[in-house]
């Protein structure tokens, strides 16, 4: 069965790149534009793994991750953070919020897929 990936990113460009990359790698992709939408679609999307941006309007990545972790069903889902931010403080916050891993943009499609495979198998 195809693995489902929920991507949360406010940039249309990145959303499209994720879509192409993930679809080419044989994943089913569900996309949300910010943390609020991400949480809204979570139940219905029922993903196997989540890839999220940090800087987003309405609800940022930290809040989104915390929201997902509060959900009993998804509290242990792998969440990868995909962002241009690379400073330690942000990483720590994301990890405290419950992020599984961290990928710094610009993402290299191979690296992204590797990372997803690593946390989903």
Partner 1 sequence: MDMNEIKEIFFQECEEQLAELESGLLRLNDGDRDPETVNAVFRAVHSIKGGAGAFGLDDLVSFAHVFETTLDCVRSNKLEPTAEVLKVMLKSADVLADLTNVARDGGSVDQARSKQLIRELEALANGEAPPPAAVVEAPAAKPAAAAPAPVVNDEGFVPVAFSFDDFGGEEDVLIVHPTYEISFKPKADLYSKGNEATLLLRDLSRLGEMSIHCNMEALPSLEQMDPESAYFSWKISVKTDKGEDAIRSVFEFAEWDCDLEISLADEGTAAEMTDEELPMQPVPFDLSVLDDEPDAPVGVVEEEERLAAVHESAATVAAAEVASNVVQLASTASRAAAEPKAAAPAAAAAQNTAQAASAAAPTIRVDLDRVDRLINLVGELVINQAMLSQSVIENDNNGTSSINMGLEELQQLTREIQDSVMAIRAQPVKPVFQRMARTVREIADITGKSVRLITEGENTEVDKTVIDKLAEPLTHMIRNAVDHGLEMPEKRVALGKNPEGTVRLTAKHRSGRIVIELADDGQGINREKVRQKAIDNDLIAADANLSDEEIDNLIFHAGFSTADKVSDLSGRGVGMDVVKRSIQALGGRINISSKPGHGSVFTMSLPLTLAVLDGMVVTVAGQTLVVPLTAIVETLQPEASAIHSFGASQRLISIRNSFCPLVDVGRILNFRSTQANPVEGVALLVESEGGGQRALMVDAIQGQRQVVIKSLEANYTHVPGIAAATILGDGRVALILDVDAVVSASRGQPLKLETSLAAAG
Give the number of residues written for the chain: 121
Element (H, E) at 15: helix 12-24
Interface pick for partner 1 out of 5, 8, 45, 115 (rule CB under 8 A): 115
Asked if residue 24 binds partner 1 (CB under 8 A), the reply is: no
Q: How far is the CB of 90 from partner 1 (least distance, A)?
A: 9
User: Taking the complex as a whole, how short is the minimal distance between the CB of residue 101 and partner 1, in angstroms?
Assistant: 3
Rounded to whole angstroms, what are the CA distances from 98 to 23, 24, 25, 49?
Answer: 26, 28, 26, 13
Q: Which residue shows structure tokens 């942000």?
A: 90
70 binds partner 1 (CB under 8 A): no
Minimum distance, C-beta of residue 64 to partner 1, in the bound complex (Å): 14
Helix, coil or strand: residue 34: coil
Question: Is position 12 an interface residue for partner 1 (rule: CB under 8 A)?
Answer: yes
Q: Does 26 bind partner 1 (CB under 8 A)?
A: no
């Amino acid at each position: 069965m195809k693995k489902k990936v929920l991507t949360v990113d406010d940039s249309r460009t990145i959303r499209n790149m994720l879509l192409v990359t993930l679809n080419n790698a044989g994943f089913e992709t569900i996309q949300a534009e910010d943390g609020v939408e991400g949480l809204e679609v979570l139940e219905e999307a029922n993903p196997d793994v989540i890839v999220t941006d940090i800087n987003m309007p309405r609800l940022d990545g930290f809040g989104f991750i915390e929201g997902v972790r509060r959900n009993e069903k998804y509290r242990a889902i792998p969440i990868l953070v995909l962002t241009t931010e690379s400073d330690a403080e942000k990483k720590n916050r994301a990890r405290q919020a419950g992020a599984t891993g961290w990928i710094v943009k610009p993402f290299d499609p191979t690296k992204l897929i590797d990372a997803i495979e690593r946390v989903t198998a």
